[in-house]
Copies of this chain bind each other. A is one copy, B any other.
Amino acid sequence: MRTRPLKVALLGCGVVGSEVARIMTTHSADLAARIGAPVELAGVAVRRPDRVRAGIDPALVTTDATALVKRGDIDVVVEVIGGIEPARTLITTAFEHGASVVSANKALIAQDGAALHAAADANEKDLYYEAAVAGAIPLIRPLRESLAGDKVNRVLGIVNGTTNFILDAMDTTGAGYQEALDEATALGYAEADPTADVEGFDAAAKAAILAGIAFHTRVRLDDVHREGMTEVTAADFASAKEMGCTIKLLAICERAADGGSVTARVHPAMIPLSHPLAGVRGAYNAVFVESDAAGQLMFYGPGAGGAPTASAVLGDLVAVCRNRLGGGRGPGESAYAALPVSPMGDVVTRYHISLDVADKPGVLAQVATVFAEHGVSIDTVRQSGKDGEASLVVVTHRASDAALGGTVEALRKLDTVRGVASIMRVEGE
């Protein structure tokens, strides 16, 4: 084994960074044996150097992250700051000064992954980011390496623990959205401002990363259709139960049937209770992958948290260190397929639509005619009502999102339709 240590610079020492530092210390002998050389924490860049950080030599702590990545003797920069800047500039600077980079930064990779990979390539360095998607769950490496000889057609995942916690609570207790969110906040599963989670921004960043890797193409954050889950109601869960389903916030990346384009989207959807994703409880994440040869695979585990995310960061750190010792590089960006990303209107799926309608003869015929005129075939209809008010629940066969959108627009114009109570996609069948 080489005795001269590989030097690691840690950018950020919050929940994840402090765990990375802790494990680097407590598991140092194992890491050395697995890498073939010791690894040494050579510097830790933080914003507030006066905060006590157990187990970290105060002499390593600096507020000057730029100077740290420019030192020139750093082998690997671990970026766990999050956000776009200064993380982006620091990573690029690190490549230019000879370091490889391990990042947990989903927002940055989703937005600027292509440019960062190009910077890594230009400097012949590694860029790894297993921790950016679904925390500790090995997902990037299996998609990029284990399935490199296969053709992935679909990735369907629960990639945000906060929203899964909220939806699971609504499903289990019958609570409404606000009540379940309050519980999640009280228990520390939701942040004070939960927007990034509940509006699907976090999941959309992960969907962009997963789609790009799965389909060997480039999917930008703006390419991902995004709907949050703040309007999911207890009534939706009751409807889902009647369908033998539950509701999850899903990230769905699909290759079109003709193989010529892909789509990526995040929205709440009903999935059958028999689907393996339906049983994913609490803040856990799981990603279901469908490919030509392998068939159906699922990866399950904790999608966030300091220690799980640190596990993914350290797995990447070992890989990058091994590459440096061996003189090789890991797989870079693979976007050769250059497939267009189709708009949401092209997505084909099934729909569950609840309508409030007038309780009089002929309403069902009117509604059914509107569906037929827009080419949306109805699977089942359930009608119930009293006192002049009624509800219609329509479940469609597969149709494009554009066709469904046109249908709903036309339904709203019918005098007999008082309102569209909910529209929910049905996935995973």
Contacts and interface: CB of A to CB of B under 8 A. Distances in A.
Interface string A302-316: 100101101111111
Interface centre among A23, A301, A302, A313 (most CB of B within 10 A): A301
B327 A147 contact: no
A335 to B, nearest CB: 10
A147 B370 CA distance: 54
A34 B34 CA distance: 27
Interface string A46-85: 0000000000000000000000000000000000000000
B319 A294 contact: no
A295 B141 CA distance: 18
Contact of A328 (B148, B299, B327, B336): B327
Interface in A293-349: 293-302, 305, 307-308, 310-319, 322-323, 326-329, 331, 334, 336-337
Interface in A20-53: 23, 27, 30-31, 33-34
B293 A148 contact: no
Copies per assembly = 2
Which one of A148, A216, A312, A322 has the greatest number of beta carbons of chain B within 10 Å?
A148
Contacts of A33: 216, 334, 336-337
Contacts of A136: 293-295, 297
A298 B295 contact: no
Nearest to A291: B311
Contacts of A337: 30, 33
Contacts of A302: 294-296
Given A295-B136, A307-B293, A149 B317 contact: yes
A41 B301 CA distance: 38
A150 interface: yes
A315 B27 contact: no
A319 B145 contact: yes
A395 to B, nearest CB: 25
A137 interface: yes
Given A279-B276, A326-B328, A30 B216 contact: yes
A86 interface: no
A427 interface: no
A151 interface: yes
A149 B299 contact: no
A236 B88 CA distance: 59
A315 B30 contact: no
A172 interface: no
A100 to B, nearest CB: 14
A138 B146 contact: yes
Contacts of A254: none
Contact of A299 (B147, B291, B299, B310): B299
A27 B305 CA distance: 39
Interface of A: 19, 23, 27, 30-31, 33-34, 130, 136-138, 141-142, 145-151, 216, 276, 279, 291-302, 305, 307-308, 310-319, 322-323, 326-329, 331, 334, 336-337
Given A138-B142, A293-B311, 11 more contacts: A34-B216, A138-B141, A141-B141, A142-B142, A149-B310, A149-B313, A149-B314, A150-B315, A276-B279, A294-B301, A327-B327
26 contacts: A30-B216, A33-B334, A34-B216, A34-B336, A136-B293, A138-B138, A138-B141, A138-B142, A141-B145, A141-B146, A145-B319, A149-B314, A149-B316, A149-B317, A149-B318, A293-B308, A294-B301, A294-B302, A295-B301, A295-B308, A296-B302, A297-B299, A298-B298, A298-B299, A326-B329, A328-B329
